[in-house]
Structure 1
Amino acid sequence: MSRTQHKTNNFRRQMVFLSLISVILLATLFIGVTTAQSKEYIPPTYEYTTNYYRGYGVPDIHASVVGDTYFDRGETANVNVILSNRGILHGFKSVTDVEGDKAKQALAMKELEYETKRTIAYGIKASLVSPNDYIEIESSTNGQILEKLVPGNLPLRPMTFTIEISDNAPAGDYILFLPVSYEYQEDVRMTGGRTIQLGLPDMDHATYYNNSNITLQIPIHVEKEAEFEVVDVDGELVAGEESLIEVTYRNVGELTAEGALARVVVMDPLSIGSSTASLGTLEPGEEHTVSFNVNSEVMAVVKEYAIDSEIRYIDEDGDYAFSDNMKINVPMQSSDKWIGITQISLLLTLLITIYLVVDSIRKKKK
């Protein structure tokens, strides 16, 4: 080979190399453009295609939560999840020699452009799963879908999942699972117009996709708080009388409740003079007993009554907080000092019957 031919070949290799670099840069800028091939068609087999380059790089899907991840017991809240794609295009390897063939070189350059899309995730599907009974996921918010996720681009809006936290959930950290499935471009091969022979549209390339599944973790936190329950009730109601009812409350939560005030709500046939009683400061696990004077109407039905009760207290932030409603179950007894309505009715009926019988006998004697 002459010196002139050698210089010419070197110049051509440099021009091809520069052209490759230019194509890669342009393709990276316009990576969001969808593939030319429609996924409505099954790609042809390899014998009808030619592969010029092998690309390296796949999607790398991550999840992050937008907004607050701290929740209270008994709360129904939304968890907003943003998916991101950190996939990196690591490079390409030439697998078919195209030196000296301008037509093949053009096809190779075109394939190289398509190969840059291999890190895009398509048809993303995600559902939130709770591995424990304390947190439930509302089914109507599951099955979220994204059309595609391009590296470096975030979705316009997050995936929103609704969760329900049990009243009995212990405070602490919880992990929810987010299974994600998607497709990505595994390989691109040039067809050279041979797809028409198979009855397919005239496509210059065929794209082969691979399915991928990944499970991501979504951390949330259930906050500590004071929580109460009724542990003992002493006393009973008596129809037509005022009764002393003693109620013992326990702080079963993790935080101290300061300035706690118990309040009861009664309805007919019950009434109460003072509906509140001070519990003072309740440390976690501590119990306090308070009493209420409850009046019952004389006509009150003998049964067990459920009296509503709640506690107002000052939380760790110095704000007023209220407990959930608690039931105080108290039985009703009849009074020995009063004649019940049934007994009065029977007595009146008996007297009327006796009077009618006596009056009838007198009339017959006359």
Structure 2
Amino acid sequence: MIKKMMTMRTSPSVLPTHSNLKQNSRRRSLIRWLVPAILLLVLVSPALAASSTYSFLPVMKTDTIDFYQGYGDPVLSASLVGNQELSKGESATLQFSIANKGSVSRMKSIEYISDAKLNTTTVQNLIDDGYISIDDPTMDSSLVNGSFAVILPSDLLKYMADSAGFSAFNQLATTEMQLEANRINAQSLNIQMSCDSPYIEVLTGSDYVYLSSLSSGSYSTISAPIRINPNTPAGTYYINMTINYEFPDNARMMDFSSMPLSTSFIYSDTYIQEYKRENVNFQIPFVIQQSPVFEITNINGTLQNGSKKILAVTYTNTGDKTAYDAECKIDMMYPLSSTQNKGLLGDVKPGESIVIEYPIQSHAKATPKIYGINSDVRYYDENGDLHVSPSIKLNVEMTQRHTILTFENVIIGVVILFFGAIGYDYYKKRKNGNGKNGNDKNENLISDEKSNK
């Protein structure tokens, strides 16, 4: 019986073979790797779905941490570049310098970062727990009376983990500090300019002048054309400049430590940047100098095509300074011309008028209409500097010259004479014919009377 039982135990159908053991080992190994893989796939699949739907997910403020609050804003200034004195009637382009002198005053720590601390134990505690024996010949018994730290492997592992987290937080804090330092750089500057005086027009071409950025310690130059009316009173005027800009107000870092590992990698940004917009106003002064201003107050005479006429032009100094050795000149184009296009005005005081006569020849084929003739005045100021007044336009009317002997009139006269000659000849022939018939009738009457007698 015992032998039979032993035989049955050793039967190949009951005892596992080497191949069966190997297959079971493979199954267990496969299960051991497959279960974690399935779990990881379950955790990662929502993130993969979100990642396939969106190229990135925006960083939410609730997922961030704020280490520092910076203090210090862009400090902008504006000034006029070059000569600040302009003349009446002048059209000039003003150059303005926009500078940024902002600086970071301080950084205030908001999130406290503490050093990782080790959980220490004393030798006495180790003795009480049975880790160290006093009878150990390698142990210095004098150390038992002292209290000092002993690092265990478990403590070292915790220290390394805490140090890694501390280094990551330090890196985030350092990055945020660098971002906070950018708060003194101005961005997207919209600059508007105007002048309160009705005599001065600022011609920027649009509502504002745009600058993309202005870093701290730098400057940029912008320009604005202006037009000054000749009747502008002398004095100090101001360009009103308004600069609207934005700057980085606060940076918040992405707190990956509070996020699941399966979703942390789908965020493309590591921080969010908050911006703030500000307005700053400036009044930039410039001066309109006292100077002579010449205007044409009267034009006497008209033009006729094909004839030469005298045009009397009155120049008046409407400014508040005397013009010395003033000389006027006119410029004209076809069909007008002149043998004398300059005139001497001499010294012209404020309010004084001088009349200059210009002989102007008009072409015979000139069209009767109003022609514009440009005129300017060159003069010296009290310092001996030469100036040229803004161009003045003379509007002169041209009329049609009335003459009898013209080509058209000659043609018309020839036609009239031709048809008149034909009519006269016809009339004469008809008259001669009527006279002959009358004589014949008279002769017949006479002969009839004689026969009756």
Same fold (TM over 0.5): yes
List aligned pairs for 1:148-227, cutoff 5 A.
149=215, 151=216, 153-154=217-218, 158-168=220-230, 170=232, 172-189=236-253, 191-194=255-258, 197=263, 199-201=266-268, 203=270, 206-217=271-282, 219=284, 221=286, 223-224=288-289, 225-227=291-293
Paired position in structure 2 for 1:230: 296
* Distance change >3 Å, CA 162–CA 340, structure 1 → 2: farther
Q: Which residues of structure 2 form unaligned runs of 5+?
A: 1-55, 118-161, 434-453
Greater Cα offset, 92-101 or 226-235? 92-101
Alpha-carbon distance in 2 for matches of 1:323, 1:220: 24
For the 8 Å contact 1:70–1:221, the answer to whether it is kept is: yes
Alignment pair present for 1:127 and 2:142: no
Alpha-carbon distance in 2 for matches of 1:359, 1:177: 92
* Distance change >3 Å, CA 43–CA 315, structure 1 → 2: farther
1:136 CA drift (Å): 1.0
Alpha-carbon distance in 1 for matches of 2:184, 2:395: 62
* Distance change >3 Å, CA 83–CA 361, structure 1 → 2: same
* Distance change >3 Å, CA 281–CA 351, structure 1 → 2: same
Higher share of residues assigned strand: 1
Alpha-carbon distance in 2 for matches of 1:240, 1:268: 13
Q: Which residues of structure 1 form unaligned runs of 5+?
A: 1-39
List aligned pairs for 1:177-326, cutoff 5 A.
177-189=241-253, 191-194=255-258, 197=263, 199-201=266-268, 203=270, 206-217=271-282, 219=284, 221=286, 223-224=288-289, 225-237=291-303, 243-266=309-332, 270-295=336-361, 303-326=369-392
* Distance change >3 Å, CA 345–CA 326, structure 1 → 2: farther
Alpha-carbon distance in 2 for matches of 1:162, 1:228: 26
What's the secondary structure of 1:349's corresponding residue?
helix
| Aligned counterpart for 1:87 among listed residues 97, 103, 106 | 103
Question: Residues 3-29 of structure 1: CA distance to partner in whole angstroms, max 9, x if unpaired?
Answer: xxxxxxxxxxxxxxxxxxxxxxxxxxx
Paired position in structure 2 for 1:44: 60
1:145 CA drift (Å): 1.0
Alpha-carbon distance in 2 for matches of 1:105, 1:210: 29
Paired position in structure 2 for 1:137: 204
Q: Which amino acid aligns with 2:248?
A: Y
For the 8 Å contact 2:304–2:401, the answer to whether it is kept is: yes
For the 8 Å contact 1:62–1:216, the answer to whether it is kept is: no
* Distance change >3 Å, CA 304–CA 244, structure 1 → 2: same
Q: Which amino acid aligns with 2:314?
A: T
Alpha-carbon distance in 1 for matches of 2:284, 2:57: 40
List aligned pairs for 1:65-84, cutoff 5 A.
65-71=80-86, 73-77=89-93, 79-84=95-100
Alpha-carbon distance in 2 for matches of 1:77, 1:207: 42
Q: Which amino acid aligns with 2:114?
A: V
For the 8 Å contact 2:90–2:390, the answer to whether it is kept is: no
What's the secondary structure of 1:127's corresponding residue?
strand
For the 8 Å contact 1:59–1:86, the answer to whether it is kept is: yes
Q: Which amino acid aligns with 1:98?
A: S
Paired position in structure 1 for 2:146: none
1:126 CA drift (Å): 2.9
For the 8 Å contact 1:177–1:218, the answer to whether it is kept is: yes
What's the secondary structure of 1:96's corresponding residue?
coil
Alpha-carbon distance in 1 for matches of 2:249, 2:335: 74
Paired position in structure 2 for 1:57: 72
For the 8 Å contact 2:309–2:361, the answer to whether it is kept is: yes
Higher share of residues assigned helix: 2
Q: Under a length normalisation based on structure 1, what TM-score does the superposition of the two structures give?
A: 0.68
Count, aligned residues? 318
Q: Which amino acid aligns with 2:225?
A: I
Alpha-carbon distance in 2 for matches of 1:187, 1:298: 81
Alpha-carbon distance in 2 for matches of 1:247, 1:185: 66
Q: Which amino acid aligns with 2:278?
A: N
Q: Which amino acid aligns with 2:72?
A: G
List aligned pairs for 1:88-127, cutoff 5 A.
88-96=104-112, 98=114, 103=163, 106=167, 107=169, 111=173, 114-115=176-177, 116-117=180-181, 119-121=183-185, 123-127=187-191
Question: Residues 63-111 of structure 1: CA distance to partner in whole angstroms, max 9, x if unpaired?
Answer: 3444445555443526243331323323424553636657576535852
Question: Residues 8-65 of structure 1: CA distance to partner in whole angstroms, max 9, x if unpaired?
Answer: xxxxxxxxxxxxxxxxxxxxxxxxxxxxxxxx9743323x333444433333333344
1:118 CA drift (Å): 5.0
For the 8 Å contact 2:186–2:245, the answer to whether it is kept is: no
Please give the root-mean-square deviation of Cα atoms over the aligned residues, in Å.
Answer: 4.0
Alpha-carbon distance in 2 for matches of 1:216, 1:127: 10
Q: Which has the larger radius of gyration?
A: 2
List aligned pairs for 1:6-21, cutoff 5 A.
none
